């Protein structure tokens, strides 16, 4: 029946661009479950996934124990020219460098200082990216032929992306200048960002300063 | 019914007869034409049905005599068995076999209409060829408007239930098929009209606030459990065999991903070894490839339990035009081979470990990936890429 309907809907006077351009028919396919805990629970009897197909699992969604949403997004943001394996190697090496540095500092510290040192590089990276989230963004609005940079509120996923993008650009510029490798600079930036220091935090503060200066244009928000 | 219609007709005729103007005559003749045609067809249908009922009773009596049965014992089931005995048929189509049933079940039904005092048919759908299906479309339209109005009036209000402003819940059910809808409405219509009805239903069901029409929608839905086929997209779960030499269970399946075809054999009571075209797991130097290969074991919690043996080939090399080209070593991208092996491994693990079928299905590991390279289009550099726009 679905094939008949799809063929029927492909006539000229009914638009079906979205569904025909996707090999996964949205009428019969649903997103797969990638959480291992959710997989163990049984489905409700009236859940539609009992009767429909599920899409194939993505290549980078295998539920291994080190799977982390933020790190995966950082890997995707740092990918250049489709070389995801290189980006993955860089990011995971940066996490390893963070682990080694924190462990070295932890070994040298006294007993009461040991409690305040975080040894998990995933938590350090997540805290660093969280600290780099901007609160506002600047968007170009044209009024009367003049384009103003108007501050707009920003949503959480875009804030996360912009934080990662700022960090990536800073690390790329520095690695291009030949200081050290990308992974070393990324590790340094993540560690500094988790303590509210570093170039990415400065870039975020610069952005907030510009938004504050352009506060007069806030009424141009559509 | 027929007597009432006749009475109405006679009254209309008698009321028109005193006036002798030609306009009245023309008007009466036009109205009477439709009514006259309907009455003629109705009388013909009644006469035909009477004749066929009499023939059926005569046939029933003859059949009782032939089978040496009492006429009162011969119900429809006995008639069916007698016909099966007297006219044995090797035809495989059940509709092509001889049958003896009351004419009310076999002959087409007669559409009955009502007429008003002036002899006109009631309802404008009399003049369409399919009054019931157009009536259903009209009902859907009226309910769609009422749902929109209901939502606009009560959005943000506290006087109605929260659940009444939700779309209708259609989980676990699907729309009735065209044949069932024809039987339900006692009317024939084209596939295009059926498609229009389904589109209208889908639009009504997708509106916020359509939960108030849940009962109307469920009249035309049927449970999905009765008619759902396989829940797997792609090849089915293979059979389990036992190797006579090693006395171990194994399963074998052939599947594909993009341009890579993989034949996977998974053996139970193993050590977690991989043999893919002679390569082991550590020979895949990409971390993502190793993750992909181990995904079925992780989801089914059976790491180190199964041995996997796989051979892969390039589908393009086996096509008819392949001898004219240089054979490709491999195509389909870097992760196509691990994903093809993963799909095959998941199907075999589902065969060897049936309790893991549902987690594997929900995680999407048993689904054949239908995606493939989109065909390049004329007048652009690729499937969707375009040249940079220049003003002049």
* Nearest CB neighbour to B362, from listed A1, A29, A33: A33
> Which CATH number applies to B240-362?
3.30.230.10
Instruction: Return the structure tokens found at A190.
Output: 């993540």
* Residues A110 and A39 placed together within one structural domain of the fold: no
Q: Is residue A187 part of a domain?
A: yes
Cα gap B349→B359, rounded to integer Å: 11
Smallest CA–CA distance, residue A48 to chain B, in Å, is: 5
Neighbours of B292 (CB within 10 A): 25
Cβ within 8 Å, pair A56-B364: yes
Q: Mean pLDDT over residues B350-369, rounded?
A: 88
Q: With contact defined as beta carbons under 8 Å apart, do A204 and A166 qualify?
A: yes
pLDDT tens-digit series, residues B254-290: 888 888 889 998 988 888 989 888 988 888 878 889 8
Phi, psi of A169 (to 5 degrees): -65, -40
* Residues A105 and A175 placed together within one structural domain of the fold: yes
> So what's the pLDDT on residue B87?
85
Cα gap B296→B360, rounded to integer Å: 7
Cα gap B219→B180, rounded to integer Å: 12
Cβ within 8 Å, pair A62-B298: yes
Which residues of B sit within 8 Å Cβ distance of A?
Answer: 169, 171-172, 174-175, 177, 191-192, 195, 198-199, 224-225, 228, 231-233, 286-288, 291-292, 294-295, 298-299, 335, 338-339, 343, 358-359, 361-365, 367-372
> So what's the pLDDT on residue A180?
80
Contacts of A64 in chain B (CB under 8 A): 291, 294, 298
Question: Per mean pLDDT, which range of B216-225, B305-314, B332-341 is the poorest?
Answer: B216-225
- The pLDDT mean for chain A works out to 83
Q: With contact defined as beta carbons under 8 Å apart, do A27 and A4 qualify?
A: no
Confirm or reject contact between A32 and chain B (CB < 8 A).
Answer: yes
pLDDT tens-digit series, residues A196-221: 889 999 899 889 989 989 989 898 88
Residue where one domain finishes, among candidates A43, A63, A83: A63
Q: With contact defined as beta carbons under 8 Å apart, do B282 and B241 qualify?
A: no
* Mode of pairing for the β-strands spanning B274-276 and B307-314: parallel
Smallest CA–CA distance, residue B92 to chain A, in Å, is: 25
Q: Is residue A4 part of a domain?
A: no
Range of the domain at A210: 68-139+151-222
* Residues A131 and A75 placed together within one structural domain of the fold: yes
CATH of residue A78: 1.10.455.10
Q: With contact defined as beta carbons under 8 Å apart, do B140 and B197 qualify?
A: yes
Q: Which residues contact B310 (CB under 8 A, 6 or more apart)?
A: B262, B263, B264, B265, B274, B275, B276, B277, B341, B344, B345
* Residues A54 and A82 placed together within one structural domain of the fold: no
Greater pLDDT, B50 or B307: B307
* Residues A88 and A131 placed together within one structural domain of the fold: yes
* Residues A57 and A104 placed together within one structural domain of the fold: no
> So what's the pLDDT on residue B132?
80
Q: Is residue A113 part of a domain?
A: yes
- The three state secondary structure string of chain A is CHHHHHHHHCCCCCCCHHHHCCCCCCCCEECCCCCHHHHHCCCCCCCHHHCCEECCCCCCCCCCCCCCHHHHHHHHHHCCCCCHHHHHHHHHHHHHHHHHHHHHHHHHCCHHHHCCCCCCHHHHHHHHHHHCCCCEEEEEEEECCEEEEEEEECCHHHHHHHHHHHHHHHHHHHHHCCCCCHHHHHHHHHHHHHCCCCHHHHHHHHHHHHHHHHHHHHHHCC
Cβ within 8 Å, pair B172-A60: no
pLDDT tens-digit series, residues B177-223: 898 888 788 777 888 889 989 999 988 998 888 888 887 988 888 77
Cα gap A191→A183, rounded to integer Å: 12
CA neighbours closer than 13 Å in the CB half-sphere of residue B295: 35
Contacts of B286 in chain A (CB under 8 A): 85
Cα gap A135→A167, rounded to integer Å: 16
Q: What percent of chain A has pLDDT over 70?
A: 89
Contacts of A56 in chain B (CB under 8 A): 339, 343, 364-365, 367-369
Phi, psi of A24 (to 5 degrees): -90, 110
Instruction: Return the structure tokens found at B67.
Output: 């089978």
pLDDT tens-digit series, residues A145-188: 988 989 999 888 989 998 999 899 999 898 887 868 898 899 99
* Residues A43 and A110 placed together within one structural domain of the fold: no
Contacts of A48 in chain B (CB under 8 A): 171-172
Instruction: Return the structure tokens found at B152.
Output: 């606009």
Q: Report the chain A residue with the minimal C-alpha distance to residue B366.
A: A56
The conformation of residue B321, written as its DSSP 8-state character, comes to: T
DSSP string over B204-233? HHHSTTGGGGHHHHHTTEEESTTT---S-S
Q: Is residue A203 part of a domain?
A: yes
Domains identified in chain A, total number: 2
Smallest CA–CA distance, residue A209 to chain B, in Å, is: 36
B265 three-state secondary structure: strand
B84 three-state secondary structure: helix
> So what's the pLDDT on residue B321?
62
* Residues A50 and A115 placed together within one structural domain of the fold: no
**CA-wise closest residue to A136 among A114, A153, A123:** A153
Q: Mean pLDDT over residues B85-113, rounded?
A: 81
* Residues A49 and A125 placed together within one structural domain of the fold: no
Q: How far is CA B372 from the centre of its chain?
A: 26
In this prediction, residue B341 has a pLDDT band, given cuts at 50, 70 and 90, of very high
Cβ within 8 Å, pair B288-A55: no
- The pLDDT mean for chain B works out to 79
* Residues A126 and A37 placed together within one structural domain of the fold: no
Neighbours of B263 (CB within 10 A): 16
Cβ within 8 Å, pair B362-A39: yes
**What sign has the CA pseudo-torsion B119, B124, B130, B135?**
negative
* Nearest CB neighbour to A54, from listed B171, B287, B362: B362
Please calculate the CA angle A85-A90-A96 and round it to the nearest 5 degrees. Answer: 125
Cα gap B69→B215, rounded to integer Å: 49
Q: Is residue A13 part of a domain?
A: no
Which ranges in chain B are annotated with CATH 3.30.230.10?
240-362
| pLDDT over 80 (residue A26) | no
Cα gap B291→B338, rounded to integer Å: 9
Cβ within 8 Å, pair A88-B231: no
Cβ within 8 Å, pair A85-B286: yes
Q: With contact defined as beta carbons under 8 Å apart, do A38 and B361 qualify?
A: no
* Residues A29 and A93 placed together within one structural domain of the fold: no
Q: Is residue A6 part of a domain?
A: no
In this prediction, residue A27 has a pLDDT band, given cuts at 50, 70 and 90, of low
> So what's the pLDDT on residue B6?
42
- The three state secondary structure string of B38-59 is HHHHHHHHHHHHHHHHHHHHHH
Q: Is residue A12 part of a domain?
A: no
* Residues A161 and A52 placed together within one structural domain of the fold: no
Number of CB pairs, chain A paired with chain B, less than 8 A apart: 101
Residue where one domain finishes, among candidates A34, A63, A92: A63
């Amino acid at each position: 029946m679905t094939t008949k309907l799809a063929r029927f809907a492909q006539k000229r006077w009914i638009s079906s661009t979205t569904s025909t351009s996707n090999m996964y028919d949205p009428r019969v396919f649903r997103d797969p479950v990638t959480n291992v805990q959710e997989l163990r629970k049984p489905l409700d009897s009236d859940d539609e996934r009992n009767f429909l197909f599920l899409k194939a699992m993505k290549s980078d969604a295998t539920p291994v124990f080190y799977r982390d949403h933020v790190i995966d997004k950082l890997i995707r943001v740092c990918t250049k020219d489709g070389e995801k394996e290189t980006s993955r190697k860089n990011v995971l090496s940066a996490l390893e460098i963070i682990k080694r540095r924190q462990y070295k500092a932890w070994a040298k510290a006294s007993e009461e200082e040991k409690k305040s040192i975080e040894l998990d590089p995933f938590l350090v990276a997540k805290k660093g990216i969280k600290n780099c989230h901007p609160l506002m963004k600047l968007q170009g609005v044209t009024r009367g032929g003049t384009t103003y940079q108007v501050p707009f509120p920003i949503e959480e996923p875009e804030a996360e992306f912009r934080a990662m993008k700022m960090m990536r650009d800073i690390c790329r510029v520095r690695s291009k200048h030949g200081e050290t490798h990308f992974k070393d600079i990324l590790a340094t930036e993540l560690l500094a960002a988790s303590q509210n220091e570093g170039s990415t935090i400065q870039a975020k503060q610069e952005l907030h300063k510009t938004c504050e200066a352009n506060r007069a244009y806030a009424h141009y928000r559509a | 019914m027929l007597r009432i219609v006749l009475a109405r007709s006679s009254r209309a005729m008698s009321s028109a007869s005193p006036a002798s103007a030609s306009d009245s005559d023309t008007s009466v003749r036009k109205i009477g034409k439709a009514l006259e045609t309907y009455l003629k067809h109705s009388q013909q249908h009644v006469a035909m049905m009477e004749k066929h009922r009499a023939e059926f009773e005569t046939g029933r009596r003859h059949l009782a005599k032939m089978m040496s049965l009492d006429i009162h014992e011969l119900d429809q089931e006995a008639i069916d068995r007698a016909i099966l005995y007297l006219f044995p048929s090797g035809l495989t189509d059940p509709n092509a076999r001889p049958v003896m049933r009351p004419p009310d079940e076999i002959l087409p039904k007669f559409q009955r209409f009502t007429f008003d005092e002036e002899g006109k048919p009631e309802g404008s759908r009399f003049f369409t060829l399919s009054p019931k299906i157009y009536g259903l479309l009209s009902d859907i339209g009226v309910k769609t408007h009422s749902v929109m109005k209901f939502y606009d009036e009560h959005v943000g209000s506290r006087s109605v239930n929260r659940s009444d402003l939700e779309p209708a819940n259609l989980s676990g059910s699907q729309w009735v098929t065209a044949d069932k809808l024809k039987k339900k409405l006692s009317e024939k219509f084209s596939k295009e009209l059926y498609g229009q009805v389904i589109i209208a239903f889908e639009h009504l069901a997708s509106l916020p606030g359509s939960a108030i029409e849940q009962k109307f929608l469920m009249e035309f839905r049927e449970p999905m459990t009765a008619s759902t086929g396989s829940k797997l997209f792609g090849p089915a779960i293979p059979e389990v065999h036992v190797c006579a030499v090693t006395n171990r269970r194994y399963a074998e399946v052939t599947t594909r991903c993009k341009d890579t075809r993989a034949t996977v054999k998974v053996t139970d009571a193993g050590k977690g070894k991989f043999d893919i075209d002679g390569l082991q797991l550590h020979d895949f130097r990409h971390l993502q490839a190793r993750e992909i290969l181990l995904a079925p074991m992780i989801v089914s919690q059976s790491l180190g339990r199964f041995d996997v043996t796989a051979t892969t080939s390039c589908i393009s090399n086996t096509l008819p035009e392949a001898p004219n080209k240089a054979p490709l070593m491999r195509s389909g991208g870097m992760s196509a081979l691990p994903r093809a092996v993963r799909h095959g491994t998941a199907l075999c693990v589902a065969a060897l470990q049936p309790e893991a079928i549902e987690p594997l299905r929900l995680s999407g590991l048993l689904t054949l990936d239908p995606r493939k390279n989109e065909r390049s289009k004329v007048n652009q550099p690729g499937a969707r890429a375009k040249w940079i726009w220049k003003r002049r």
